[in-house]
Amino acid sequence: MTRVLIVTGGPIGDRMAGPSIRSWHQARVLAADGHEVRLVTTAGLDPESSAVTHVAWASLAIQPGDARAFGEQERWAEVVVVQGHAVEHFPVLASTDRALVADCYDPMHLEMLEQGRAEPRATWELMVDSRTELLNQQLAIADLVLCASDRQRHFYLGQLAALGRLTPEAYEDDPHLARLLAIAPYGLEPAAPVRAATPVIRGVVEGIGPEDRLLVWGGGVYPWFDPATLVRATAALAERRPETRLLFLGTRTPGIPPMGVVAESIELARELGALDRSVFFGEGWVPYTERGAWLAEADAGVSTHHVHLETEFSFRTRILDYLWAGLPMVVTEGDAFAELVAREGLGLVVPAGDVDALAEALERVLYDEGLRASAAAAIARVREGFVWETTMRPLRDFVAAPHVAAPFREGRRPPRLAGAARPATGLRRDIKLAWHFLRNGGVGEVARRVRARRARG
């Protein structure tokens, strides 16, 4: 048995988004393997939630920068699994003698290239630079790095090489570097969801009836997605197929302030006369344990995005929910999942930004019964390979026999980072950010950022 500490930046409770869902299932799988597990969140914990009270591991909330509280957990652990900003929030991790796993399934520096577009240039540069520094630090000190796909593995191999991690010592008896960098995709639960005894969408959401053909958008709406093309395509399809309905399941991601793309999408639907007629936006966020009932009432799933660098190395976790629920899907080309959908016949792949092609694909996936039956059979076959117990096999193997391999602990820097500044952490990071926003936006911008942080908890 190994003592495992898992650290997430997402809230733990009934309403969880991708990062905390992933950490929660890592805790579940490792606890089932017989390990002693503690799950720490820096973004809030609901002690009354079944995600906390009816599980075989301990869940704790620790405020970012609380060195004393986190230090107790770090000393208890034999293996620490981190994602996001954990090393930034708790600098002790940069020199820990515990085996360290960096879960880098989300290339957040690429994400910031898109998310920061609407910000002033200085802020955009800061967002990208800070995430790049943070990821570089994690890659430099991790004993095992987890990624989500072959594409990500190739990408991170280049970043690891630039950091000096591809050494003869690492390569000598592991020429594929599988012990340093492993693919651990996002996963899904083994048992498919079933409809609830009482409907949660049809006949409940005004405008969506029992006989309508229902398309769902699972997960949040972020700048790197393309909801505008989807709204236009759905509105166009509804003109000839009036029973067509599109539902965005949630528009307020837990722990993240609402993004402008949500308001823009709602306004576009209103302009097209589609809002609450063929296009619907769910308020809030569907509780994690209830999402299966919502998905089970749908006829198909959809994910549309712009084609750019973030897309190329992304891993759209909502696609796993579509697989889980057995939903044929329409997705935009350009990412790893689009390749899987096309190769395995899970649905249809369309060019980015093509309203007509998307409308045609939506019509087929909703109304072509032959296509739907074929996709359903393919999904039933493919989803078995994505259950959490399978996708987390590299982590399970590492925890069963942990090892410390990173050569850059205890204050030493990777050769390629010798001249680079350390990522700012704790109070030093807060001062750096406050000075940046004061210089580039004034006192009002500093106050706005403080309010936003408090709102996130």
pLDDT in tens, 351-371: 999 999 999 999 999 999 999
**Taking 70 as the threshold, does the pLDDT of residue 311 lie above it?**
no
Annotate 145-183 with DSSP letters as a single string: EEESSHHHHHHHHHHHHHTT---HHHHTT-TT-TTTEEE
Question: 154 and 147 in contact (C-beta within 8 Å)?
Answer: no
Contacts of 454 (CB under 8 A, 6+ apart): none
**Taking 80 as the threshold, does the pLDDT of residue 453 lie above it?**
no
Mean pLDDT rounded to a whole number for the chain: 87
Closest CA to 414 of 138, 59, 119: 138
pLDDT in tens, 214-245: 999 987 787 778 999 999 999 999 999 999 99
The whole-number pLDDT of residue 313 equals: 55
pLDDT in tens, 276-310: 999 999 877 788 778 889 999 999 999 998 876 66
Read off the pLDDT band of 114 (50, 70, 90).
confident
Question: 338 and 325 in contact (C-beta within 8 Å)?
Answer: no
Closest CA to 106 of 131, 123, 127, 87: 131
**Taking 50 as the threshold, does the pLDDT of residue 200 lie above it?**
yes
**CA gap 357, 194 in Å, rounded:** 31
Which one has a higher pLDDT value, 426 or 343? 343
Read off the pLDDT band of 456 (50, 70, 90).
very low
Range 155-177 average pLDDT: 92
Closest CA to 138 of 74, 79, 87: 87
Closest CA to 220 of 34, 4, 375, 15: 15
Closest CA to 346 of 294, 292, 295, 300: 300
Ramachandran bin of 194, using left for φ above 0, alpha for ψ from -120 to 50, beta for the remaining angles:
beta
pLDDT in tens, 175-189: 999 999 999 999 998
**Taking 50 as the threshold, does the pLDDT of residue 447 lie above it?**
yes
Range 62-67 average pLDDT: 95
Contacts of 279 (CB under 8 A, 6+ apart): 231, 234, 235, 245, 246, 248, 269, 272
Range 35-63 average pLDDT: 94
The whole-number pLDDT of residue 420 equals: 40
Task: Supply 251's token pair.
Answer: 């528009």
% pLDDT > 70, the chain: 85
Lowest-pLDDT range, 55-59, 148-152, 163-167, 434-438?
434-438
Range 383-404 average pLDDT: 95
Cα Rg of the chain, angstroms = 22
% pLDDT > 90, the chain: 62
Q: Which domains does the chain have, with CATH numbers?
A: 3-187+392-423 (3.40.50.2000), 213-386 (3.40.50.2000)
Q: In what order do the strands lie in the sheet with 329-332?
A: 279-281, 244-248, 213-217, 300-303, 329-332, 347-350
**CA gap 283, 305 in Å, rounded:** 21
The whole-number pLDDT of residue 314 equals: 63
pLDDT in tens, 81-106: 999 899 999 999 998 999 999 999 98
Range 121-135 average pLDDT: 90
Which one has a higher pLDDT value, 124 or 26? 26
The whole-number pLDDT of residue 427 equals: 52
Q: List residues bridging with 58 in a β-sheet.
A: 38
Residue 424 to residues 85, 150, 272, 429, 431, Cα–Cα distance (Å): 11, 31, 47, 5, 9
Closest CA to 102 of 44, 64, 144: 144
Task: Supply 454's token pair.
Answer: 């408090």
**Taking 50 as the threshold, does the pLDDT of residue 416 lie above it?**
no
Read off the pLDDT band of 418 (50, 70, 90).
very low
Range 158-162 average pLDDT: 94
**Taking 60 as the threshold, does the pLDDT of residue 436 lie above it?**
no
**Taking 90 as the threshold, does the pLDDT of residue 425 lie above it?**
no
**Taking 60 as the threshold, does the pLDDT of residue 428 lie above it?**
no
Question: 70 and 90 in contact (C-beta within 8 Å)?
Answer: yes
Number of helical H runs and strand E runs in the chain: 19, 13
| Stated pTM of the model | 0.77
Which one has a higher pLDDT value, 14 or 27? 27
Most confident region among 18-22, 171-175, 239-243, 414-418 by mean pLDDT: 239-243
Contacts of 181 (CB under 8 A, 6+ apart): 144, 145, 147, 153, 156, 157, 160
